[in-house]
A = this chain, B = another copy of it.
Amino acid sequence: MTFLEQLKHATHASRSVLCVGLDPEPAKFPVHLQSQPDAIYAFCAQIVDATHDLVCAFKPQIAYFAAHRAEAQLEQLIAHIRRVAPAVPVILDAKRGDIGSTAEQYAIEAFERYGADAVTLSPFMGFDSIEPYVKRHGKGAFLLCRTSNPGGDDWQTRRLADVDGQPRLFEHLAHLAQGPWNLNGQLGLVVGATYPDEIARVRDIAPALPLLIPGVGAQGGDAATTLKAGLRKQGDQISGPIIVNSSRAILYASQRPTFAEDARQAALQAHRALSI
């Protein structure tokens, strides 16, 4: 099954567009977990157990594992997701951006080593930095497009003088991802929830693409506004899917021994706001 098919099924089964981001920070774990040698795995696995019926995807962020020499725990975690929630796709948030044989190595890392179904990528080096990923049929690749941080304005909203109509950079990127770059229908875009007008703009330009939308919850984006901007239905016409990520508000709902149940309560709240 392709990533897009998995996503469709998991969205239907969970009746929501909620994605739980797995960004483990040991200092925020309950005290009883902190001393365990595999605390990162143990924490994330319990979050997965508590939330997997509520989500359309899980999104582990690789930096949080790499900083702690916990690549093996990330492998274990993804294997755990496969066991308890085989229908839920895994998006590896890695924002890789390199070319040629180096990009090929990163594709091996994401899709073979970790067995992810999709990956996030930085498009700064252009199309040939994307190509090695879209050669992997059925795998998804989400390109950073309009990110939710203030520095997103440094480049992403700049107007390009030498492109027809002087689109903003993120608009031109959405155009390329919807059309000429999307050789095998695998591309999606990352668009921050903090800019709902720009989600709507990206959706205008790229009606069919899946959008991965971080920034709801702790970062201040609003769920209802996000849904309205990103997901459209007109008669039989339905836009590409959206995936709305929440990490900290769910993972760190509490630091009590009952953190997993508390995370479920937070996820239920997000699930209600992101029901479809």
Question: Could you tell me the distance in whole angstroms from the C-beta of A127 to the nearest C-beta in chain B?
Answer: 5
Task: Kindly state whether residue A100 has any CB partner on chain B within 8 Å.
Answer: yes
Count of chain A residues with Cβ under 8 Å from any Cβ of B? Answer: 52
- Number of copies of this kind of chain in the complex: 2
Interface centre among A106, A123, A158 (most CB of B within 10 A): A158
Chain A interface, DSSP helix/strand/loop, else mixed:
mixed
Given A97-B124, A102-B23, A124-B122 in contact, is the A113-B67 Cβ separation under 8 Å? yes
Mask, A139-163, CB within 8 Å of B = 1, is 0000010010111111110111111
Q: Give chain B residues whose Cβ lies under 8 Å from the Cβ of A108.
A: 67
**Is there an interface contact between A64 and B105, defined as CB atoms closer than 8 Å?**
yes
B124 touches A69 (CB 8 A): no
On whether the beta carbons of A128 and B155 are closer than 8 Å, the reply is: no
Are B101 and A127 interface neighbours, CB within 8 A? no
Residue in contact with A126 in the complex, picked from B63, B126, B128, B154, CB distance below 8 Å: B154
A155 to chain B, nearest CB (A): 6
Complex partner residue of A96 from B69, B95, B154, B161, CB under 8 angstroms: B95
Q: Are the CB atoms of A155 and B129 closer together than 8 Å?
A: no
